[in-house]
Structure 1
Amino acid sequence: MIQLENRHTAANLCKEIEGVLSDFTITKKQIYCVTSDNGRNMVKAVDALNKEDVASEDPDDSNTEKVMSEVNIFDIKSIRCAAHTLQLAVKDFITDTQLSEVLGKARALSKILRCPTNRFLLSSQSLLNAEVDTPTRWSSTFRMLEKLCKLQSFCDIHIPKQNMSQEEWEEVHLLVSVLQPVHVATKKLQAEQLYFSDFYKLWLEMKLEIQAMSSSASKTLVACLENREKGLLQNEVMVSALYLDPRLRRILLPNPIQLMMARNHLKRLMRQIFDVSKKKSNAPAPTQVVTQSSDCSIFSQEEGTCTLLSNYLNTFEVGSCDEEEDDEELNSALNQIVDYNPKPVNISVNLMDYWEDKKYVYPHMYKLATLCQSVPATQVSVERAFSALKLVLTDLRTNLSAENLQKILFVKLNQ
């Protein structure tokens, strides 16, 4: 965690990320995926990480043609936080015009219940105080409605004039029952760092439970969930994680496009793994500096130019198929991806236990599974980092420098 003193633009975020990577000697080719929220600046920052300046336009030369200033030479993927995607689906649901009217009345009633007189009456009867929601957090809306349902009899007796009608109370109770599975799923997402396929399993269980209610509100919520689910299943990281999960892989079988997307993505990823491992094993020898005589100046200049050209061309290495066709191990890995067709296993099986058992049966698929399934499905760890920051940077430690604060948090978050 670092302190950002500039605006949170995509360019500034990209620069800070590159600085952190440099501190830990991590190259961009070693990065597989970045989990972020749906903020446009974060999405553009990940896109910027895939680019590298290769030429620039001279602002003083208006007659020259424009040249390309950047090209994609890396393959860093971006995936949206699952918890945030779920929240957006529920937000789509509660902003429905018919529901928003009922929510407005429930919110107004909760505010009345929070006045001093009613709060005193509630405490005298050992009842919980009402809660007013925060519009940006749907979970607070759920808690508001849930508490309000428990106070219906109190409202009927003490505030009959400001009370809601019986039909409106029924709608509120229905909303609570429909949102209950989503609330439980959100709690699970916050409590655990799930594998991607485990998140999708949780998503499906939640959707099917809501679908079984067969009410108009449940149908609307399911439609909102499916609309967001389409975006999830268009992401090749997500589809590849499902492809490597024998419990859920059958979901992709009716859709050949998604199967092809997963296989192509895993092939590129396998080439990237081989490329990184080769570069580590074939580390260049230290450059030897030799003083050239004047007779060899032309040769030296040509050699230096070739070195610069070679370094420039190396930036375009993206795993050429032609050069790697002779690599038997890579060909074996690519064939294993295409031929992978496991027998479906029980939904309750632990995914990583399954892959530990198949480690020597599918050695290359095991590597891909441990990588793809290790992508964080949510930003839970980031939110916990903010909580840790609040505990470290207290009112009594406001003079901590940014560097010392960063070191303390690094130790605390990696204990």
Structure 2
Amino acid sequence: MDLHNPQTLSKKVDFEALGPQLTDVMNCKAVIEHYASNRHQMCKLLSQEWQILRETVYILQIPLRATIAVQRHDLTLSDVFGIWKRMQLHLGACSRKTNYKTSLATFLLESLNTRKEAIYNNPFMTSAIFLDPSFRNQLASNGTKVEEAKRMLSNLWQRQNYAVEGARNANHSGSSNISFDFDADAELTSFLQGNNTEDDPIIHNNVDIDLILESFPPELLSPNHSILEYWDTVKNTHPQLYTLAMLVHSVPPTEVPIKRDFSHLNHVFSNRRGRLQSARLTDIMIMNLNKQVSYETKGDELRDAITQY
């Protein structure tokens, strides 16, 4: 195995598996050096390459940590972009080290840069970056991508309005909910005080979303700050953008959550429970995949929900 030539190495070995394997070799350094001192030819040659081996292990830990990081279930698109950017910067720093013996960091960095266009060409990713104050400046130098993100978000806003209006029309056309509780005195008082609640506080058909997108000037946010927490704090000052942010950042950035959900499904919908009805199976899966909601729900509320069910 030629550790000096990553091009040859990549054709023979999977980098994801190589990192742990070489780490195991590093952990056995004392044993290997013992055999090398007894003139074991293979171990003696290996003992002369410890610096290269140590460097290779260190560099391979960078993409390995990124791979582990994207396994989290609560990631957003901009979170994945942040993980990718950290990996790019770390590999770039390694490639500039003059005391490194191999070009592995440069090779991995070049491979990473070839995927940059695929990442930026995803309209949802550019929209997520546009709505993330931590990374929005990454689009500032590319006017084409900025306009692409604005068009995507404007189109998404219109689709959201159509969906809301369709749901409202469907509810109004139904005959099952004709009567409802209405406190006329309270509504009149609220109206006279200027707190008219007739319209939806977030969705407005007459909103110029293009103007809002153009005039939104977010301050630079720390990349360690949660983007969902940020939008939760500004949802009252930017309600329309909050709606768009929740839509964009709800898109699963990787296939990991979907594969994990199917793994849960195999445990729930087994051969012994093959007669579960679809509605009951859906309810079980919702509870199984959103356990944090159950933990955060107060005990009495949970009991009431179970009783009603």
TM-score (norm 1): 0.53
- Does the 8 Å CA contact 1:232/1:238 hold for their aligned counterparts? yes
* Contact 1:240–1:372 (8 Å) recurs in 2: yes
* Match status 1:186 vs 2:81: no
Equivalent runs, 1:12-411 vs 2, <5 Å: 96-100=6-10, 135=14, 138-158=15-35, 160-163=40-43, 164-166=45-47, 168-213=49-94, 214=96, 215=100, 216-283=103-170, 285=173, 329-389=205-265, 391-392=267-268, 398-401=271-274, 403=276, 407=281, 409=285
Amino acid at match of 1:155: I
CA distance in 1, matches of 2:215, 2:207: 12
Q: Deviations over 1:83-119 (max 9, x none)?
A: xxxxxxxxxxx99433248x76xxxxxxxxxxxxxxx
* In structure 1, C-alpha distance between the alignment counterparts of 2:161 and 2:72, rounded to whole Å: 35
> How far is the alpha carbon of 1:398 from its aligned partner?
4.1
Superposition RMSD in Å: 3.2
CA–CA distance in 2 between the matches of 1:161 and 1:392? Answer: 55
Secondary structure in structure 1 of the residue aligned to 2:41: coil
Say if 1:258 and 1:139 are closer, same or farther in 2 by CA, change over 3 A: same
Tell me if structure 1 keeps the 8 A contact 2:6–2:104: no
CA contact (8 A) 1:274 1:330 kept: no
Is the Cα contact below 8 Å between 1:193 and 1:380 reproduced in 2?
no
Letter in 2 for 1:184: R
Structure 2 residues not aligned, in runs of 5+: 176-202, 292-309
Supply the AA of the counterpart residue of 1:157: H
CA, structure 1 residues 182+330, in 2 after alignment: closer, same or farther (shift >3 Å)? Answer: farther
Deviation track 1:196-232 (CA, whole Å, cap 9, x = no partner) reads: 1122112211221221122521111111111112200
CA distance in 2, matches of 1:243, 1:401: 46
Q: 1:410 to 1:250 in 2, by over 3 A?
A: closer
TM-score, structure 2 normalization:
0.69
Q: For 2:124, what is the secondary structure of its paired residue?
A: helix
SS of the aligned residue for 1:190 comes to: coil
Cα distance, 1:362–1:399 mapped onto 2, change above 3 Å: closer
| Shift in alpha-carbon separation, 1:243–1:402, aligned structure 2, 3 A | farther
Q: Distance in 2 between matches of 1:177 and 1:403?
A: 49
Distance 1:267 1:281 in 2: 21
Evaluate the alpha carbon distance shift between residue 410 and residue 171 of structure 1 in structure 2; reply closer, same or farther with a 3 A threshold.
same
Q: AA paired with 1:359?
A: K
SS at match of 1:342: coil
Contiguous gaps of at least 5 residues in structure 1: 1-93, 105-134, 288-326
Cα gap change, 1:413/1:354 in structure 2, threshold over 3 Å: closer, same or farther? closer
Give the C-alpha shift of residue 251 in structure 1: 0.8
Deviation at 1:335, TM superposition (A): 1.6
Structure 2 residue identity aligned to 1:383: K
